[in-house]
Amino acid sequence: MNIAMRISLTGRNTPALRVVTRDQLAQALHAKTSPIIIWNSNLAAPFARLLRVQKLQWRVFAKLADMLIDDISHAYGVKIGDDWSVDRHTDGEIILLHVAVFKGTRRR
């Protein structure tokens, strides 16, 4: 795991962690200190699916989104739904922001 780059979140540059393995992602999720950029498409796939479902904003898909959040949370032992914000970085990579640390910084 290393510092990938600085990303701009509401006018401030924040160092982001680049992760490419499952162990690195789990460690970064538990640390809750920096934005996480997932540079492995297989590792990012569940988060990308979650983003697609959340963007549909139909009530019928809310249950599917909850199931995806539960699966991801169980896989990494970290509560994803309320604690982490999932977004897409400008380069297309999945970015995760811990809500308590980066409150109000989610890009829309």
pLDDT 10s digits, 64-107 = 888 888 999 899 888 887 778 888 876 778 888 887 766 654 44
β partners of residue 73: none
pLDDT at 4: 47
